[in-house]
Amino acid sequence: MNLVGYLQKATTYLERHGVASPRLDAELLLASLLGISRLDIYTGFERMLSESEAADYRELLVRRAQGWPLQYLTGETGFRGVRLEVRPGVFIPRPETEVLVESALEVLPEGEIDVIDLCCGCGNVAVSMAAERVGARVLAVDSEPIAVELTARNAEANGVGGRVRAVKGDLFGPLLTPGEDEARFHAVISNPPYVPSGCLESLPVEVRDHEPPTALFAGEDGLDVIRRIVDEAPRFLLPAGWLVLELDESHAEAVIELLRAGMSSGRAEWTESSVELIEDLTGRPRVARACLAR
């Protein structure tokens, strides 16, 4: 059986198991297995699979049918024009997070800037920002060692290893070195965990059973990590520095209230006109943004 024959059988199998895009997934899994492009499958369709290749392909298809995320099976994903390695144990970048990067880039000054990316995962935000803004230096922080490792690897693979530094730590923890001046940044950016802890069963099986809980859940209302970032960020921002946070649409007003509460209590001097919500392409609130007073 040639490659097209395998694709036809694979598509039918995935479709029968309720996979949303069976033909595309079958193509991507086969291309990844063979180290070729999707187009190469069709231009070289006469090729036969060896016994070991056929067995490996069947295993990939079974795992995909069981709910394994496609990106974990192929080992990579795309984000704003960069290719990123992903593995189990690290959150898979979503397209909507591109709005987070865009929301930061459009307000940050040109030239050299220092940015800290909290909860960096595989480094999609840090790497894409450094790739798109040649003067950007990004400190990427995550509590999971595998995330730190992948961010460093992805930065090197995309040619920005000299401007992205990945470190292990709890949010701003790596900056709190006794006896040293605290670093200040032009922007604090984060796509933090924001799923309420009681929502586990409502998540898709791909997320619930395979993606890391530490990248998903943030307390009873999903705001535990965001509260900490909003409270601590002003300490590490330069005057006129920006805080840019991804959020769930259900948290939009609550996050704006957190920002305004910091203003009213004197803990943070955000400029009133800068505190805003930014919508994604579907019209849902996706990012909260605020600028520290000069």
What's the rounded Cα separation, in Å, for the pair 206 and 63?
Answer: 11
- CB–CB of 139/112 below 8 Å? no
Per annotation, catalytic residue among 22, 69, 192, 234:
192
**How many C-beta atoms lie closer than 10 Å to residue 240's C-beta?**
14
Residue by residue, DSSP assigns 102-150 as HHHHTTSPSSSEEEEEES-TTSHHHHHHHHH-TTEEEEEEESSHHHHHH
What's the rounded Cα separation, in Å, for the pair 200 and 213?
Answer: 9
Residue 217 is a catalytic residue: no
Q: Which residues of 71-106 are buried (b: 16+ CB within 10 A; e: fewer)?
A: bbbbebbebbebebbbeebbbbbeeebbbbbbbbbe
Per annotation, catalytic residue among 154, 191, 193, 217:
191
Per annotation, catalytic residue among 91, 185, 217, 236:
91
Residues in CB range of 261: below 8 A, 6 or more apart:
none
**How many C-beta atoms lie closer than 10 Å to residue 259's C-beta?**
20
Number of H helices, E strands in the chain: 11, 9
What's the rounded Cα separation, in Å, for the pair 241 and 147?
Answer: 26
Residue 91 is a catalytic residue: yes
**How many C-beta atoms lie closer than 10 Å to residue 37's C-beta?**
11
Residue 154 is a catalytic residue: no
How much of the chain is in helix, strand and coil states, percent to nearest 5?
45, 20, 35
- Three-state DSSP state, 162: coil
Phi, psi (degrees; rounded to nearest 5) at 8: -60, -45
Catalytic residues: 91, 191-192
